[in-house]
Chains A and B, each alone.
Chain A
Amino acid sequence: MEIGIGLALAGAAFAAFLASCGSAWGIAVASEAAAGVLTEDPEKFGKLLVMIALPGTQGFYGFLGAFYIMMKINLLGGAFPVSLASGLQLFFAGLPVGVVGLISGYYQGRASAAGIHLVAKRPEESGKAIILPAMVETYAVLGLLATILMVSGIKL
C-alpha cells in the first residue's frame, strides 16, 4: 500500500521539480538577455518582463500536474489506498509534463532571449517576439495534457 503512495508521490514530485527546473533555467537565459538590453534602454522593462515571464509557464504546468496527481490520491485529505500498480501508473503519468517541461522550458528561454533581441532593435514588433516563444510552449502544453489525461484515466 505505502509503496503505491510513494510511487504516486514520486510521479508528482518529478512533474513539479523537473518542469520547475526547466522554467528556472529558461527564465535565467531570458533574463540574461534582458539585462543586457536594459543597460542600454531601461524603459523597455515592461515589455521585456513579459518576454521573461513566458518560459515560466512550464513550472506551473508541472505544479499543476503534481497537484492533479495529489488530488487523485486525495493526499491532502488523508490519502486513499494506492496499489503498487496504480502507483506505478501515476508515476509514469507524471513524467510527460516534467520531462517536457524541463527541456521545453530551457529552449523557450532561448527563444525568449532571441525575441528580446528583436524587441531591443524593433520595439514595434514586440507582438511577433511574443509569439515565437509561444511556439515552443505548445509542446509543454501537450506534455501537460498527456499527464492530465493519463491521471484522469487511471483507476485506483
Chain B
Amino acid sequence: MAVAEVVKTLIIGHKSLQNSVIEKLSKEEIIQIISQGAKPQTSELELSEIKAAITFLEKAANKKKNLLESFAPTREIVDEETLNMSYKKFNWGEIIKSVKDIEQEIGNLRSFMVKLKSEIEILSPWQNLTTPLNILAGAKTAGIISGSIKTKKLEEFKNNLSKLTPFAEISVVNSEKTDTYLLVVFLKREEKAINGLLAKNEFVKIPLPSSKNTAKEELEQHQQLQETSRENLFNLEKKAKEMAKVLPRLGYVYDFLFIKKSEEDAQASAFKTKSAFFIEGWIKNSNFNKLKKILSNISNTIDVQKISPKEGEIAPVIIENPKIFRPFELITKIFGLPKQNEIDPSTALSFFYLLFFAVCLSDAGYGLILAAASYYLLKKLQLSEGGKNLMLLLIWGGVLTIPIGIITGSYFSISLEAIPHGGIRNLLIGLRIIDPIKNPINVLLISLLLGVFQNICGLVIAMCWQFKNKQYLEGILNHGLWIFFLMSLVIMSGTMFTGSIWAGTFSKLSIIGALLLVLTQGRQEPTFIKKTISGILSLYKTTSYLGDTLSYSRLLALMMTTSIIGMVVNIIAGITAGIPFVGYVIMVIILVGGHLFNLVISVLGAFIHSMRLQLVEFFGKFYEGGGREFKPFKKETKYVLIK
C-alpha cells in the first residue's frame, strides 16, 4: 500500500571482519551499499573472456530459443556450492583458451578461403595457357602483359597495335562472349607507348601469380586447397559444437565470478582506515533491527547506526504491498516508482486495471482460456519475479473477464440466438444484460461513467493525500472543489438527459461550483485582477477532464474489436463447413487458429490500453513518480538462479 521508510545506515567494524560482513550482507539482500567512488579491482577481464567464449559456443551450438523463451527466459536452479566447485575444479581456463584458439583458427581459415576463391576466379580464364606462369615476368628486353579486353574491341586493338609498332605480338589465350583474355608481348623500350595504347583501348591488366606451374596446374592446386580448407572448417565447427556441451558449466563459472565481482565492488565501496572499515548503505527502517542482530552475530564489536542523509542525497524507494496487490507494482514500475513522499498507486489502480482489462477482452471463453494458459505457464516455467507478476495479472484479468463476458453474452462470439438447445440458449440470453453489438451507445455511456468514476477517485486520492500531510485547506480548494463541481456537472447532464426533476437543483449546484472555483483558484496571484483572471481561466481545466473521460471510450472500441473479429472467424468457418469432404477439418482449423489469433491481439490490446488509462488518465490526477529503485546488494547472476 505504501512507500516504505528507508533510512541511511553506517556499519563500522574491525578490518578483519569486513569479508564476513559483506558475505553476510549479500546473503540477506536487505541493504543497498552506497559506493564511496573507489575504483574496484575486479575480475572484469576474466568475465569478459568467459562471456566471449559463451557467446561463441552458443553460436556454434546453434541452439534456437523458441518464442516463449525469448519472452520469459528460463534459468537452471543451482546451489552455490556447485558454482564454487565449478570455479575450482572445472578447467575453464583451458576451455576458454581452446575456444579462443578455435575461434581464431576458424577466422583465419575463413579469410584464407575468401582469398583462395578470388584467386581461383582470376586463374580460371587462363587454363589454356600452356607455359609456366613465371614466364610472364618477361625477359631482359621483352616484356609481357596479361589482361583482358572487350571481345568486340579486339580487332580494333590489333590494328592499332600493328600501326604503333611492328615489334609487338598478341597471343589470345581465351576468348569469351564479352571478354577476351590475351598476352601482349612487346619490347621494353616501347613500354610507355604500349601502356598508353592499352589504356586507350580499355585493356584491363590482370597480374597473374608467379609460379613455375601452368595456370591449369595452379588452379587445380588451389581447388584442392579449397577442398581441404572446407573440410578443416567443417571439422573445427564440429569441434566447437562438441565443446558447446560445457556451456552450462561455463555459465556456472561466469556466475561465480559475477558474484565475486559484486562482492569486490562492495568491498571497494567500503571506506577503510588502518584498522577499521565503514560501510554506508540504505536500508528499510523495519529491517534495521534485523541488520543489527545479524551483524552482532558475527561479532559484537561491529557498530550499526542510523545516520541522516547528506544534503541533496535522496533515498531509494521501496514499495510494499500485500501479496495479492504485488503484481500491480509492475504497472507502477513501468511509469516510475513513487518519490519518498508520494503515495504508491499500485493498490488503487489494481481494481480499475482488472476491470478495464476485462471490459476490453469481454469474452467469457477467452477469459477462461487466458486464465488457464497463464496459470499453466506460471506453474510450468521458471519465471523471474517480473514474469511471475505478469502471469498473475493475466490470470486475474482472465478470471474477471468471465463475468463480464457473461453480462455481455459473449462466448467465443457465438450468436446466442443460434444455439440449438433451448434451455442453455434461454439461460445465456437471460444472463445477458447488455449487447454491445446491438447497443453500442449504452456500452459507451458505461465506459464514460467508468471514466468519470476513476477520474473522481484520482482526485479523491489526491485530496486525501494532502489531508494526510495536514494540508487541509489546500486539499479542499485544489481537489475538493473540483470533485464537487465535476460531480454536479455530470449528475446535471444525467438528470437533464432523463428529464428528471432534479435537473434544476444540480444545474444550480454546478454554477455554485464554478463560482467557487473562479473565486479560489487564483488565490496565489498577487493582485485582484490577476486573481480573477486566473480563477476564470482555471475553468478551462474542465476540458482536460472532459478529454480524460472521453479517452475511456476506447473500452467500447476494444470490446467490439474482440467480439466482431471473433464473429468474422465464426462466419468464415461456417462458410468453409460447406466444402465437400474436408469442410469440417478446415472449419476446425479456422476456428482454432482464428480465435487463438483474436485472443492474442485482444489480450495485447486490452493489456496496453487498460494500462494507458492508468498511467495517463488516472496517474495524471495525483501521481508524479520519479523515485529511484532500491537495489539491494545481493548475489546476482546471469545464467543460473541460486537455490
User: Chain A residues in contact with chain B, CB under 8 A?
Assistant: 43-47, 49-50, 53-54, 56-57, 60-61, 63-64, 67-68, 76, 127-128, 130-131, 134-135, 137-138, 141-142, 144-145, 148-149, 152
Q: Which residues of B contact A145 (CB under 8 A)?
A: 444, 553-554, 556-557
Q: Point out the residues of chain B lying under 8 angstroms from A50, CB to CB.
A: 604
Is B637 interfacial (CB 8 A cutoff)?
no
* B residues neighboring A (CB under 8 Å): 65, 67-68, 70-71, 330, 333-334, 440-441, 444, 550-551, 553-554, 556-558, 560-561, 564-565, 567-568, 571, 601, 604-605, 608-609, 611-612, 615-616
Is B553 touching A152 in the complex (CB atoms < 8 A)? no
Verify B551–A138 contact, CB threshold 8 A: yes
Measured CA separation A138–B555 after assembly (Å): 11
A45 adjacent to B608 (CB under 8 Å): no
Name the residue of chain B whose CB is nearest to the CB of A56: B601
- The 3 tightest CB contacts between A and B, nearest first, are A46-B70, A127-B334, A46-B71
Task: Sample 21 A-B pairs with CB under 8 A, ordered by A number.
Answer: A43-B65, A45-B70, A46-B71, A49-B67, A53-B604, A56-B601, A60-B601, A64-B560, A67-B568, A128-B334, A130-B608, A131-B612, A131-B615, A135-B612, A135-B616, A144-B557, A144-B561, A145-B444, A145-B553, A148-B557, A148-B560
Across-interface contacts of B558 in A (CB, < 8 A)? 141
- Please give 5 more A-B residue pairs, beta carbons under 8 A apart, in addition to A53-B604, A60-B601: A45-B67, A61-B557, A127-B333, A148-B557, A152-B440
The CA of A130 and the CA of B550, in the complex, are separated in Å by 22
How far does the alpha carbon of A145 sit from the alpha carbon of B567 in the complex, in Å?
Answer: 18
**B605 x A57 contact (CB < 8 A):** yes
Alpha-carbon distance between A149 and B553 when the two chains are bound, in angstroms? 11
Assembly CA distance A67 to B569 (angstroms): 12
A46 contacts which chain B residues (CB < 8 A)? 67-68, 70-71
B355 to chain A, nearest CB (A): 18
A152-B441 Cα distance, complex, nearest whole Å: 9
Q: Which of B65, B554, B604 contacts A141 (CB 8 A)?
A: B554
**Cβ 8 A contact of A134, one of B70, B441, B564, B612:** B612
Name the A residues within 8 Å of B65 (CB-CB): 43
Residue of A nearest to B67 (CB): A46
Q: In the complex, which residues of chain B have a beta carbon less than 8 angstroms from the beta carbon of A53?
A: 601, 604
CB distance from A118 to the nearest CB of B (A): 13
Asked if A47 contacts B608 (CB within 8 A), the reply is: no
B608 A134 Cβ-Cβ under 8 A: yes
Partner of B557, one of A44, A128, A135, A141: A141
Docked CA distance A76–B558 (Å): 24
- Contact among A67, A128, A135, A152 with B564 in the assembled complex (CB-CB below 8 Å): A67
The complex places the Cα of A68 from the Cα of B608 at a distance, in Å, of 24
A57 to B604, CA, bound (A): 10
Q: Chain A residues with Cβ under 8 A from B605's Cβ?
A: 57
A135 to B616, CA, bound (A): 9
Contact B71 A47 (CB under 8 A): yes
Which residues of A sit under 8 angstroms from B68, Cβ to Cβ?
A: 46
B440 / chain A contacts, CB cutoff of 8 Å? 148-149, 152
Docked complex Cα distance between A135 and B615 (Å): 11
Task: Kindly provide the distance from the CB of A28 to the nearest chain B CB, expressed in whole angstroms.
Answer: 18
Per DSSP, chain A at the interface is: helix
The answer to whether A68 and B564 have CB atoms under 8 Å apart is yes
| A131 in contact with B608 given A67-B568, A149-B441 (CB within 8 Å) | yes
Does B334 contact A64, Cβ atoms closer than 8 Å? Answer: no
- Nearest Cβ in chain A — how far from B57, in angstroms? 15
How far does the alpha carbon of A58 sit from the alpha carbon of B416 in the complex, in Å? Answer: 28
State in angstroms the CA–CA spacing of A145 and B334 once bound together. Answer: 28
Q: A64-B560, A148-B560 are in contact. Are A57 and B71 (CB under 8 A)?
A: no
* Residue from A47, A67, A134 in contact with B609 in the complex, judged by beta carbons closer than 8 Å: A134
* Alpha-carbon gap, A43 to B560, bound state (A): 35
A57 touches which of B333, B560, B571, B601 (Cβ 8 Å): B601
The minimal Cβ–Cβ distance linking B374 to chain A, given in whole angstroms, is: 16
Which residues of chain A are within 8 angstroms of B568 by Cβ–Cβ distance? 63, 67
What CA separation (Å) do A135 and B453 show in the bound complex? 22
Contact B571 A47 (CB under 8 A): no
Pick the residue among A63, A128, A138 that contacts B554 (CB under 8 A). Answer: A138
Q: How far is the CB of A104 from chain B (nearest CB, A)?
A: 13
B567 CB contacts on chain A under 8 angstroms: 67
Min C-beta distance of A53 to chain B, whole Å = 7
Which residue of the partner chain A has the closest CB to B447?
A145
Q: Using CB atoms, name the residue of chain A closest to B330.
A: A127
Query: Cα distance A110–B224 when bound, in Å?
Result: 52
> CB distance A141 to B553 under 8 Å?
yes
B70's partner among A44, A76, A144, A152 (CB-CB below 8 A) is A44
Q: Which residues of A contact B556 (CB under 8 A)?
A: 145, 148
Q: How far is the CB of A148 from chain B (nearest CB, A)?
A: 6
- Find chain A residues with CB under 8 A from B571 CB: 76
Least Cβ–Cβ distance between A24 and chain B, in angstroms: 16
Residues in A neighbouring B553, C-beta threshold 8 A: 141-142, 145
CA distance A144 to B559 in the complex (A): 12
Q: Please report the C-alpha to C-alpha distance between residue A19 and residue B564 in the assembled complex, in whole angstroms.
A: 16
Of the candidates A54, A130, A134, the one having the most CB atoms from chain B within 10 angstroms of its own CB is A134
**Which chain B residue shows the least CB distance to A124?**
B386
* Interchain CA distance A54-B608 in the complex, whole Å: 10
**In this complex, what residue of B is CB-closest to A149?**
B440
Q: Is A131 a contact partner of B67 (Cβ separation < 8 A)?
A: no
CB distance from B47 to the nearest CB of A (A): 19
Q: By the criterion CB–CB under 8 Å, are A64 and B564 in contact? A: yes
Chain B residues with CB below 8 A from A144, complex form: 557, 561
C-alpha spacing A21/B99, complex, angstroms:
50
B444 partner residues in chain A, CB cutoff 8 A: 145, 149
User: How far, in Å, is A91 (CB) from chain B's closest CB?
Assistant: 20
Question: CA–CA, A131 to B70, complex, Å?
Answer: 20
**Alpha-carbon distance A142/B71, docked complex (angstroms):** 31
* Residues on the A chain within 8 Å of B70, using CB: 43-47
In Å, the complex CA distance between A138 and B440 comes to: 18
Q: For A152, list chain B residues within 8 Å (CB).
A: 440-441
Residues of B within 8 A of A134 (CB): 608-609, 612
CB distance from A111 to the nearest CB of B (A): 13
Would you give the shortest CB distance from A55 to chain B, in whole angstroms?
Answer: 12
Shortest Cβ distance from residue B548 to the other chain A in the assembled complex, whole angstroms: 12
A100 CA to B330 CA, complexed, in Å = 32
User: Which residues of B have CB within 8 Å of A130?
Assistant: 608
Task: Chain B residues near A149: list those with CB within 8 A.
Answer: 440-441, 444
